[in-house]
Amino acid sequence: MKTLQKKLLLLLLILPISMFAQNTLNGVVLDSGSQQPLPGVNIVIKGTSNGTTTDFDGNFSLEKVKQNDVIVFSYLGYKENTVTYTGQKNISVSLTEDSQQLQDVVVIGYGTVKKEDATGSVNTITDKTFVKGPVVAADQMIQGKVAGVQITNGGGAPGEGATIRVRQGSSLGSFGSSNDPLFVIDGVPVAADNTGGRNPLATINQNDIESVTVLKDASAAAIYGSRASNGVIIITTKKGKSGEMKINYNGNVSFSSIAKKVDVLNGNQLRDYVTTYGNANQQALLGTANTDWQKEIYRDAIGTDHNISLSGGADNITYRASAGYTNMDGILKEDNFSRATTSVALVGNFFDNHLKIEANNKTSSMQNNYSERSAIGASLAFDPTQNVTNPDGSYFEWNQQLASRNPVGLINKSHNYGTSFRSLGNIQTEYKLHFFPDLKAVANFGYDYTSGRSYGGYDNDYVYNNVNAEYDYRNESKNRLMDLFLNYKKDISAIKGSIDLTAGYNYQNFDYINNPGFSTTLAGNTSTSQYKKQGYNIQSYFARGIFNVYDKYILTATIRRDGTSRFAPAYRWSNFPSAALAWKLDKEKFLENVNSISSLKLRFGWGITGQQDIGRLYPSLPTYLSADNQAQYQIGNSFYNPIRPQEYNPNLKWEQTETRNIGLDFGLFKNRITGAVDVYEKRTKDLIAYIPNPPFYGFSNYNYYNIGKTKNQGIEMALEAILVTNDDWNVTVGGNVTLQNAKVTGLIDGASEFGISTGGITGGINNEVQRIQVGYFPNAYYVYEQAYDADGNPIDGVFIDRNGDGQINSADRYFYKKPQADVYYGFYTNISYKNWDFAMSWRGSWGNYNYYNVDSNLGWQNQILIRDTDLGNATTEVLNTNFTYAGSERFLSDYYVRDASFIRMDNVTIGYNFKNFLGSKANAKLSLGGQNLILITSYKGIDPEVNGGIDNTIYPRPRMYTLGLNVNF
């Protein structure tokens, strides 16, 4: 009995000791899919600071573990996992990839923040949600995906550049400062120069892009100072992940055809028209053919795109390398775009993760065979009663230099080529001080080199004296970058929050080199260009502080001081501050029991950004320009190229834009529904424009001036809903809507009364159909009011006398409509069922108007019967109106300003995923897609999307079908 009592007493003593025993837990962390080890996984006992990380082989050893401790395993890009300790000695933990978590980290320039802590208006689109299909540039991947961002393709040629506007832009565009956003690629701000290619963004392989982040308001973008007034688009490319090497192949083949043609008279209609209205000489010119010239110059086109990548990691180094080749024919005959790309990304972590070195390099080589674009207009204007060729095989042409040219001859007898090479990269080092690990020193050295060549000409039997029979021009650009900054991050328990401080210096130098080139006419007149090198640099000091208090109140403040060599010393430097405040309402007690609200954050932002991207490099500095050898002076027996002073304005200042933003981010029902609403106002002053000089000015008709002010306002709304999610089904729908408005609020003396004319058109002499004027939308149409008969038909040559003075003159013009939309939107659907997936995206706009220059120039009688030596052709508009009036009032009539609202299906794709492809561990996906399949619009032209609002024979956007294959090994 005594022995039993002793044993019970001993057991009672051991039990409490065992409850407080501290043990060591060993284990390994694996990727749930590949079963490969994950290095660098954070492991911590919940509610304590006791933790560790896994080594390269995924192994870990965690000390001081007590019974029932909850151990948390977390890793960027993976879902968090927890394990309760119940005395295990060794465990194996699996983590599952979480693409949503990657979206929750936002790149903000010189750093990142969690999406829930972002105070500015920022949107990130990842490779999971990019626009599908055979895109060749980053701009096409986010089209219609971001509220406040409108992207309009320049035309349907493969690799064609696009116009990107973030919140309408802040400048006046074509005759002033650029409205293009700043692009930052892997930390390197790049210039949007086009050297021998179609689209500078097409030089980056779309398959290498991991995410695109748009900084829309000044509080987010002001860290980039003088180049951020039109927003900032940050492109982050893919990096490797630790583990064994993974191989990916992604390719597609596409088939394109013209979606719509312009309605012009056919051969029979033209013969009837000339017989009715033409004289005997003109009737004698008619042929017997019925040639469809648009059919003759367009074709069905094929394109291919192949990409392969290798990625993995060894020790503390991860890598990714890729190569790609794209070859796309355009629907305009002889048009072709080809591109070869490579990329390498290396990331190394050393000294217990205190030193991180990242190296990136991307190269591209593009070849362009530019078909003769003038053939598009010629196909509308050339006589359809004539055959393509004469009996001897030569192309039919009129014996009149002013006549339209044979469009087929233009294509086959012209040879225009462009080549470009680009190498873009950076090396970035991050060092966390061993004695002060909360402080990190970062050095980023980047470069962007491009070279381009444009060359070609016409066959000698197909060129007039004033057209270049041969030309060859080459250029280069060099962009060098240095960023040096410190970053301090610290969690502060006293405020249950954190601080994140950044301060640094930026230097960027741009060089532009025009190498010697020439052009030669058939008559042998040669014009040469001399070697020319010019450039500028930007130097900056910047700082940012992010203060998080109680994980509820977040304040962000930035300041950047920029200097540029492009302005005169008195206006060379400027300061660009910003501030933003976010309030996480869902963290407040009055909402803590509202289970339907997952997140709710109110944002307030203010900031000032600048603009120094002007048409000329040195508009405010005295420079000289060398003339070509067509203007040589003879001194003795020698000839010299003269130099002449260029116009300049020493008082030219920065454009500055002040932005205010109020936003609300929300998530409902465990974030099954998420969205954001933003309201903004932008006020820009000291707008830069290239406008006519006063009459007393000396040697130039135009110069750059700060001319006025504008105000832009808008409301942006975005919503996404996960309607169904289970083991078999996932259904997600989303969309965004943007409402916008703008007006000119001030102009300098001399321009304020009559405004500034712009928007040149084809037809008449020096006709311009748009105007910049106080109180109106920038580039609003400024036109005559057309008179109509009782049946609603326009009366030829009759316009409304709006001022009632009894005569029709420029005083009767008025502001009517505008090219910018009142509302634009995008919406999408993503559905997956077991191994099947389906994606569809739509995009549209409302309230935008185009000036239909095709009808105004080609839709009247003189287009057909202008001379007795040749015949032209006209759009079918001439059958309705039979206009003969040739005055400028007709060209500038509001009759040609047409509603261009539209809804377009950008893409639809269906795919099937094959697991264990061909009996191996490989996974494959086969997809079928269509692009530009549906367009709903009342607009008469071939496409309502027109840059600048003036529709004049654009390259048609094709309808495209795509077959794709993606294989992962």
If one compares 464 and 441, the residue with the highest pLDDT of the two is: 441
Q: What is the pLDDT of the chain when averaged over all its residues?
A: 89
**Cβ-contact 315, 39 below 8 angstroms:** no
Amino acid 103: pLDDT: 53
**Cβ-contact 190, 575 below 8 angstroms:** no
Domain membership of residue 6 (yes or no) is no
Q: What does the pLDDT look like over 199-239, one tens digit per residue? A: 667 788 889 999 999 999 998 899 998 889 999 999 999 99
Amino acid 18: pLDDT: 44
- Amino acid identity of 497? G
* pTM for the predicted model, two decimal places: 0.87
Domain membership of residue 298 (yes or no) is yes
- Residue 367 pLDDT more than 60? yes
Domain membership of residue 513 (yes or no) is yes
Amino acid 629: pLDDT: 57
Q: Mean of the pLDDT values across residues 616-632? A: 75
Amino acid 134: pLDDT: 73
Residue 431: pLDDT band with limits 50, 70, 90: very high
- Residue 308 pLDDT more than 90? yes
Tell the residue number behind the tokens 């060092």, with chain if given.
Answer: 431
List the beta strands (DSSP E) in 290-373.
Answer: 301-314, 317-329, 336-350, 355-370
DSSP classification of residue 919: G
User: Is 451 found in the same domain as 588?
Assistant: yes
Tell the residue number behind the tokens 């012209």, with chain if given.
Answer: 414
Amino acid 13: pLDDT: 43
Six token digits for residue 461: 């039997």
Alpha-carbon gap, residue 611 to 621, rounded angstroms: 17
User: Is 740 found in the same domain as 609?
Assistant: yes
User: Is 262 found in the same domain as 184?
Assistant: no
Domain membership of residue 293 (yes or no) is yes
Phi then psi for residue 19, to 5 deg, are -65, -30
- For 883, left (φ over 0), alpha (ψ -120 to 50), or beta? beta
**Range with the lowest mean pLDDT among 1-15, 624-638, 670-684, 851-865?**
1-15
Alpha-carbon gap, residue 405 to 413, rounded angstroms: 11
Amino acid 5: pLDDT: 53
Tell the residue number behind the tokens 């019925």, with chain if given.
Answer: 290
- Residue 196 pLDDT more than 50? no
Q: Mean of the pLDDT values across residues 885-894? A: 92
- Residue 138 pLDDT more than 60? yes
Q: Mean of the pLDDT values across residues 414-443? A: 94
567's CB contacts (< 8 A; 6+ apart) are: 612, 620, 621, 652, 653, 654
DSSP classification of residue 66: -
Q: Mean of the pLDDT values across residues 486-503? A: 93
Alpha-carbon gap, residue 893 to 378, rounded angstroms: 24
Amino acid 10: pLDDT: 47
User: Is 291 found in the same domain as 225?
Assistant: no
- Residue 617 pLDDT more than 90? no
- Residue 898 pLDDT more than 70? yes
User: Is 160 found in the same domain as 298?
Assistant: no
Amino acid 15: pLDDT: 44
Of 278, 353, 292, residue with least CA distance to 317: 353
Residue 9: pLDDT band with limits 50, 70, 90: very low
- Residue 96 pLDDT more than 70? yes
Amino acid 597: pLDDT: 94
**Cβ-contact 399, 386 below 8 angstroms:** no
Residue 627: pLDDT band with limits 50, 70, 90: low
User: Is 162 found in the same domain as 148?
Assistant: yes
If one compares 606 and 159, the residue with the highest pLDDT of the two is: 606
Alpha-carbon gap, residue 138 to 289, rounded angstroms: 46
Alpha-carbon gap, residue 48 to 314, rounded angstroms: 32
- Residue 375 pLDDT more than 90? yes
Phi then psi for residue 411, to 5 deg, are -70, -45
If one compares 866 and 754, the residue with the highest pLDDT of the two is: 866
- Residue 1 pLDDT more than 80? no
User: Is 70 found in the same domain as 133?
Assistant: no
Question: Which of 209, 237, 265 corresponds to the end of one domain?
Answer: 237
139's CB contacts (< 8 A; 6+ apart) are: 151, 162, 164, 199, 201
Which domain does 390 fall in, by range?
246-332+341-361+371-968
Starting at the edge strand found earlier in the chain, the sheet holding 81-84 runs: 51-53, 42-45, 70-74, 81-84
CATH number at 233 reads: 2.170.130.10
Q: How many CB atoms lie within 10 A of CB 391?
A: 7
Domain membership of residue 729 (yes or no) is yes
If one compares 944 and 34, the residue with the highest pLDDT of the two is: 944
User: Is 298 found in the same domain as 159?
Assistant: no
- Residue 21 pLDDT more than 60? no
Q: Mean of the pLDDT values across residues 823-832? A: 96
User: Is 116 found in the same domain as 92?
Assistant: no
Amino acid 12: pLDDT: 44
List beta partners, residue 44.
51, 72
Of 303, 307, 337, 350, residue with least CA distance to 325: 307
DSSP classification of residue 886: -
User: Is 134 found in the same domain as 34?
Assistant: no
Alpha-carbon gap, residue 324 to 363, rounded angstroms: 10
- Amino acid identity of 103? Q
List beta partners, residue 875.
264
Amino acid 159: pLDDT: 85
Alpha-carbon gap, residue 548 to 546, rounded angstroms: 7
**Cβ-contact 894, 786 below 8 angstroms:** yes
Question: Which of 97, 120, 152 corresponds to the end of one domain?
Answer: 97
Amino acid 908: pLDDT: 96
If one compares 700 and 28, the residue with the highest pLDDT of the two is: 28
Alpha-carbon gap, residue 685 to 656, rounded angstroms: 6
User: Is 584 found in the same domain as 450?
Assistant: yes
Domain membership of residue 786 (yes or no) is yes
List beta partners, residue 846.
823
Pairing of strands 182-185, 232-237: parallel
Of 296, 301, 330, 300, residue with least CA distance to 407: 296
Amino acid 697: pLDDT: 64
Question: Which of 212, 237, 262 corresponds to the end of one domain?
Answer: 237
Of 931, 899, 905, residue with least CA distance to 844: 905
Of all residues in the chain, the percent with pLDDT exceeding 70 is 92
833's CB contacts (< 8 A; 6+ apart) are: 728, 729
Domain membership of residue 366 (yes or no) is no
CATH number at 74 reads: 2.60.40.1120
Alpha-carbon gap, residue 906 to 924, rounded angstroms: 25
Q: What's 261-296 look like in SS3?
A: CCCECCHHHHHHHHHHHCCHHHHHCCCCCCCCHHHH
User: How many domains are there within the chain?
Assistant: 3
Of all residues in the chain, the percent with pLDDT exceeding 90 is 65
- The DSSP string of 226-239 is GG-TT-EEEEEE--
**Range with the lowest mean pLDDT among 304-318, 546-560, 887-901?**
304-318
Alpha-carbon gap, residue 929 to 906, rounded angstroms: 10
Q: Using alpha carbons only, give the angle 546, 548, 553 rounded to the nearest 5 degrees.
A: 115
Of 586, 584, 603, 606, residue with least CA distance to 595: 586
- Residue 681 pLDDT more than 80? yes
User: Is 113 found in the same domain as 93?
Assistant: no
Q: Mean of the pLDDT values across residues 126-151? A: 85
Of 449, 302, 452, residue with least CA distance to 958: 302
Amino acid 56: pLDDT: 65
Q: Using alpha carbons only, give the angle 252, 253, 256 rounded to the nearest 5 degrees.
A: 130
Amino acid 852: pLDDT: 97
- For 167, left (φ over 0), alpha (ψ -120 to 50), or beta? left
Residue 19: pLDDT band with limits 50, 70, 90: very low
Six token digits for residue 372: 């003769």
> 207 by DSSP, 3-state: which?
helix
- Residue 505 pLDDT more than 70? yes
Counting every residue written for the chain, the total comes to 969
Q: What does the pLDDT look like over 575-612, one tens digit per residue? A: 999 999 999 999 999 998 899 999 999 999 999 999 88
> 148 by DSSP, 3-state: which?
coil
Domain membership of residue 230 (yes or no) is yes
Pairing of strands 336-350, 355-370: antiparallel
- Residue 20 pLDDT more than 50? no
789's CB contacts (< 8 A; 6+ apart) are: 795
> 493 by DSSP, 3-state: which?
helix
- The DSSP string of 397-417 is --S-TTSPP-HHHHHHHEEEE
Q: Which helix (H) or strand (E) holds 9?
A: helix 2-19
Amino acid 667: pLDDT: 95
